[in-house]
Structure 1
Amino acid sequence: MKTMERPGLQAEMEQQPETIKDSYKGSGKLEGKTALITGGDSGIGRAVAVHFAREGANVAIAYLNEEQDAQKTKELVEKEGGKCVTFSGNLTDKEVCQHLIDQTMSEFGQLDILINNAATQYPNKDITNIDYDELKETFDLNIVSMIYLTKLALEHMKEGSRIINTTSVTGYKGHEMMVDYSSTKGAITSFTRALSAQLAEKKILVNGVAPGPIMTPLIPATMGAIEDFGKQVPLGRPGQPSELAPAYVYLASEDSTYVTGQIIHVNGGTVVGG
């Protein structure tokens, strides 16, 4: 697989990730709901958007600059019968975050589900070579913007609303090539637990999903040669976005009304604490 420029285009991947299985049958679990998905143009975010649409939701997706991927996601959502609006911008800019929330409310008049999924990574095998600007970008996007966007979204959320954060197996077991990225993912897990406690009285549920090695555009864009990607897990292969997105459906639906402050691990068999 060739190396791509970050953040990576799914349209340019030699082997296309699977977004949704033909066997996945929607049953109206999210009928009448509106979801905002960051990083929703491709990979995990696209799969979540399409699964949500098959379950009856409308979606707004935020992305950096991957217009081709975003339009494809919009097409796939609309094919499922959902409405999709797209927003381009850098979430590390607080004005972009405010615009995203304002425009979502303007388009749909409600915000029931927030999926905090956007992230970046700069693999580096030696901490002494970590670039300060890349370090700051990783934290600003992966956790700082997540907290700020959630703050803005909560002004419009009500009892029964859901916040679902994408963390990672690396937040539990670390990764020798991604010290800073792993640190942000650990912070996301702590954020999820702390916020769930704060919002329990308001009956707003906050949970997370911790993927293992999932084939997304960010992998060829940041990892270089990836022939062995995912082979270290017990199932011996990377996962597909289609295998991850149903966990988000569960956490967003009425099936999970007694679940908050929890992380679902979809990682090919890696056993971790928590």
Structure 2
Amino acid sequence: MTDPAFPAQQQPPGLTGAMDPVPDHGESSYRGSGRLDGLGALITGGDSGIGRAVAIAFAREGADVAIGYLPEEQEDAEETARWVAEAGRTAHLLPGDLTQEHTARALPGRAAEALGGLDVLVNNAGFQMARRDSFEDVTTDEIDRVLRTNLYALFWVTQAALPHLGDGASIINNSSIQAFQPSTALLDYASTKAAINNLTVNLAAELGPRGIRVNAVAPGPIWTPLQPATQPEEKIEQFGKDTPLGRAGQPAEVAPAFVFLASPSDAGYVSGTVLGVTGGKPVF
């Protein structure tokens, strides 16, 4: 078990190296068993945090990956690609700002071309901002960034990915415990995650006849670069202690849920579900 305490810290968004402690993405722990052999996966926000852990796990399970990320996060993306290569698989780095519709809609085609096809789409990119005192402090620009990153981009990327996804393909959306137990400081972020749950269920119903499975993973408090970049320092010191397990989770502890849902053999009859990885917080 990891130490539940984190030192107070803040940092610019998106970079892993300055975090204390550095998150565990499964670099030394995840062992694959060929569950995704030969598949091609697109992971948005795949440069760091949960996205990096999923990329490493997918690669060790036999998948090649395309990673979408913001251009300013190139350093983290290259580190993720290095771990994918060490697993003997290929990582294609595809920078771009998904809050721009043309960039988001172009990404799946770029990924499919690089991978030689597309079998799994992981909608992982997300943004939150908790440094505010009340609902009245939320600005239009903040709302717009959260909605465009978490929801609009998911719509655009998924719509553009569908022509490349065939029978047996899988879409996995990153939801959150915030969809079920929203924090007042994250009301805009929590709203998008509740919408993602609804979208997941609806898409599963619509795409099921095409043989495409759609699911979501709802992480609890997970130690990723998003936390020290968007939470007050005093919140970081208490981060995750309110879970029944008494600690925050690591990205490496979330990645196996994505592997399970992506695996045609393990989750071939699983669609329309939201799988919680929350340290004991309920997802219903």
Structure 1 counterpart of 2:274, from 246, 263, 266: 263
Structure 2 counterpart of 1:148, from 140, 152, 156: 156
Q: How many residues align?
A: 272
Amino acid at match of 2:232: G
Structure 2 counterpart of 1:139, from 135, 143, 147: 147
Aligned match of 2:3: none
TM-score w.r.t. the length of structure 2 is 0.93
Aligned match of 1:46: 52
Instruction: Classify the secondary structure of the residue corresponding to 1:149.
Output: helix
Aligned match of 1:179: 187
Aligned: 1:91 with 2:91? no
The Cα offsets for residues 180-217 of structure 1, whole Å up to 9 and x where unpaired, read as 00000000000000000000101100000000000000
2-structure distance, mates of 1:19, 1:36 = 18
Aligned: 1:114 with 2:124? no
Aligned: 1:165 with 2:142? no
1-structure distance, mates of 2:28, 2:190 = 33
Aligned: 1:211 with 2:195? no
Task: Say if 1:74 and 1:23 are closer, same or farther in 2 by CA, change over 3 A.
Answer: closer
2-structure distance, mates of 1:41, 1:266 = 20
Cα pair 2:260 2:266 within 8 Å, conserved: yes
User: How much has 1:74 moved relative to structure 2?
Assistant: 0.3
The percent identity for this pair of structures is 44
Aligned: 1:17 with 2:23? yes
Cα pair 1:125 1:176 within 8 Å, conserved: no
1-structure distance, mates of 2:91, 2:22 = 22
2-structure distance, mates of 1:224, 1:10 = 18
User: How much has 1:24 moved relative to structure 2?
Assistant: 3.1
Aligned match of 1:29: 35
User: How much has 1:105 moved relative to structure 2?
Assistant: 1.9
User: How much has 1:132 moved relative to structure 2?
Assistant: 0.6
Structure 1 counterpart of 2:258, from 248, 257, 261: 248
Cα pair 1:138 1:181 within 8 Å, conserved: yes
The Cα offsets for residues 77-112 of structure 1, whole Å up to 9 and x where unpaired, read as 100111001111110112212332222122122000
Task: Say if 1:243 and 1:94 are closer, same or farther in 2 by CA, change over 3 A.
Answer: same
Cα pair 2:65 2:115 within 8 Å, conserved: no
Which aligned segments of 4 or more residues in structure 1 are displaced greater than 4 angstroms?
Answer: none
Instruction: Classify the secondary structure of the residue corresponding to 2:260.
Output: helix
2-structure distance, mates of 1:118, 1:268 = 22
2-structure distance, mates of 1:272, 1:104 = 32
User: How much has 1:125 moved relative to structure 2?
Assistant: 3.3
Aligned: 1:238 with 2:248? yes
Cα RMSD (Å): 1.1
Aligned match of 1:62: 68
User: How much has 1:262 moved relative to structure 2?
Assistant: 0.1
Instruction: Classify the secondary structure of the residue corresponding to 1:146.
Output: helix
Cα pair 1:125 1:177 within 8 Å, conserved: yes
Cα pair 1:44 1:245 within 8 Å, conserved: yes
TM-score w.r.t. the length of structure 1 is 0.97
2-structure distance, mates of 1:181, 1:23 = 31
